[in-house]
Chains A and B, each alone.
Chain A
Amino acid sequence: MTKDEDRPVIRVEKLTKDYRMGTTMVHALRGIDLTVRRGEMVAIMGPSGSGKSTFLNLVGCLDRPTAGQYWLDGIAVSRLSTGQLATVRNRKIGFVFQSFHLLPRATALENVTLPLLYAGVVGAPARRRGLQALEAAQLPLDRARHQPSELSGGEQQRVAIARSLVTGPSLILADEPTGNLDTRTGLEVMAVLQELHDDGITIVLVTHEPDIAAYCGRVVRFQDGLVVDDAPCPSPKRAEDTLAALATKEVAS
């Protein structure tokens, strides 16, 4: 078990990604070396075009690197077939997107159980697990039968977080999870992520807001396809505290 705990969730070496955009070649990643250990909460920052989204797509197994190595939970991902990558995305990775990306005509619970469908879990066991995931993402359960259009932005993002949790993955990848939310709701979502992190889930979060990065235990900065800074943050801020302070201020004013 200790060996398992010690194994990094993400390990990339010389990760390179080039792609063609029109006639020009874009070198999105120029050889990234990075290791994310189990239980870390890492913020990836950088200006647009720095390669942070490309990195997230590669780590999320949605894309293949031009060169370099990637081990996810000890699995050499570059050697996997397309079908195996789909399975890896299903079992090992949970995605949280800036614009939630919920299926509009499905209920919150149906959205949450979608990954279970592709894992072969359906019916009552899937619903039970979906409700557990919604509880873990702190969505009031009376919202489970609502469609996304009937939910607030914060609620929708909780549904998305529940969806990312439902298959019990090793890693949650969040791409600007607070980008479409106001400050307070964004903090609420960060509080949910921090609590999941407290319980041992590894989280990699892309953001360009330093305020959000401040809630993570480690901040990695990208620029021009390279890692330019990688700093631990020994005592990150707690989103709960900020929210409490915010509430006090509101009462005072």
Chain B
Amino acid sequence: MSTPDNELSGRRTLPPLDLRGSTPFGQTVVLAARSAFASLGVHKLRGALTIIGIVVGVAGIFVIANLALLVRTATVRGIGGLGANVIDVSGFTLSSTAPLATGAGHGLVVRVSGAPSLTAADVEALQKLPHVAGVTPRTGTRMQVQAGARNWTTQVFGAYPGIQITQGYSVQQGAFFSQADVAASKTVAVLGQTVAKQLFPGGNAVGQQIRIGSVDFSVVGVLKPLGANGDQDLDDVVVVPASTFLQRLMGSGPARMTSGGPPPGANVKTGGGPPPGVQVFQAQGVQDPALARANFPDVQVAVDDPSNVPTVKSAITRALEQDHGITPGSKDDFTVGGFLQGVETAQQAASTILWGMGAIAAIALLIGGFGVANVMLASVAERQREIGVRLAVGASVADIFLQFLLEALTVSVIGGLLGALCGAALSLLMSTQLRGLPFAPSWLAVVAALVAAVAIGLIFGAYPARRAAQTDPIQALRRA
């Protein structure tokens, strides 16, 4: 190769170049990624340690995002959807458990034991309390309702006229049944819009006869439409007097507290019954059938103003303790706040766990971030000459900044992808170990994990990239 090449013909200068102006961004990304991989390849241990930090942090974020979704779902459907001025009183001693400590079923678990303790006298006493706008017991079950040849399965509630206040019902046609109807256990029914339309497509439901289970009722009113709450049709409902429900329908059908979720069609807006995702366990064999037929598992109290809820809550507790002859210090056989209180307690426990895990994940992520910054700073220091060359051949300061920022992003996104993978594996493992928790990795968790990784790359890559961009090419290209 030492002979000067005389064979080459023509000019050695190149024709003028058709120049586009600046570096295509896509190319910069590809080259930065390649450069990052090359750097990681050269310093394997250093790169691995950095990535592990990101992986741990992102995996933590992933699991937390998953958990948070679980708790949030319960919150939104349960507490968040409860009318702020309605207090739910459960006729059971409710002990709640944290979601992680349970072994079966789905979601949060509330345990109940014994027979319901709330009586008609209790309801009357509560009606007399100050600031109380309306009180109704509420029991419910899904039953088949017939009118002539048509039939429809719907949610049947046993209640007092006070349910109009607690649920926000108002009558469109006819009238609501009265307290006298309740006292006389009359077989009268008020239909929601959906039920009225299904059973009487021609209208004029009022005055017609329907059969619920095996008992005939006459329709006295039809409710104004309320619409839907989430996937629940609030108008798919039949309301009958609570006394009639307990005496006639409980005897004729499997009427009891619905377990494994809310009474479908139950108006979650005003609570009553467990919210979706909350399972109620009722201890078997301890129920007195007579009591179960006479007493109410659930009573709802509407307060005139949400600000009076705490006052009324303690008034309810005092009134019921007095009625039930419970001495101070012994355990109440009712729970003010009802199932939702149990859910709240469970959620508090869950959120404590969440915060703890969140803190660990944040620390891991922060350590990972400092790792990224450290690796990038070392890389900038080692590659002074490269930066000098790039500047000399026409890279702008922005090009250099972008290159090193993208390299940091590459490292953190690799960590992020591995972290999301580990997080998903961890979540699946948790869902097999703790049956019943819907830990299936969600896309939102994947997104959260990757957003965290990208944020770390940007935050901790920016400073080293700035340092790289500030390189003085003359210093960097000093003759070695």
Contacts and interface: CB of A to CB of B under 8 A. Distances in A.
Nearest to A198: B12
Given A191-B4, A195-B12, A122 B398 contact: no
Interface string A77-116: 0000011001101110001011101110100000000111
B304 interface: no
B215 interface: no
Contacts of B2: 184, 188, 243
Interface in B1-20: 1-2, 4-5, 8, 11-20
B181 to A, nearest CB: 84
Interface stretch (B130-138, B384-392, B419-427): B384-392
A136 B23 contact: no
Contact of B17 (A83, A105, A119, A191): A119
A187 B206 CA distance: 112
A140 B7 CA distance: 12
Most-contacted residue by chain A among B16, B17, B389, B392 (CB, 10 A): B392
A138 B14 contact: no
B13 A91 contact: no
A133 interface: yes
Contacts of B1: 140, 154-155
A83 B12 contact: no
A167 B15 contact: no
A201 B22 CA distance: 25
B148 interface: no
Interface size class of B (residues with CB under 8 A): 35 or more
Given A133-B14, A140-B1, A165-B13, A86 B396 contact: yes
Contacts of A122: 24, 27
Nearest to B22: A120
Contacts of A57: 474
Contacts of A121: 17-20
Most B CB within 10 A of own CB, among A83, A120, A199? A120
Nearest to A164: B393
A97 B477 contact: yes
Contacts of A86: 391, 394-397, 399
Contacts of B399: 86, 118
Nearest to B17: A168
A196 B13 contact: yes
A218 interface: no
Contacts of B11: 199-200
Nearest to B39: A105
10 contacts: A82-B397, A91-B394, A101-B385, A102-B389, A118-B395, A118-B399, A120-B23, A121-B19, A165-B14, A243-B4
Given A114-B393, A136-B12, 18 more contacts: A82-B396, A89-B392, A90-B393, A101-B389, A101-B477, A105-B38, A115-B393, A116-B17, A117-B23, A121-B18, A136-B8, A167-B19, A176-B479, A184-B2, A188-B4, A199-B11, A199-B12, A199-B13
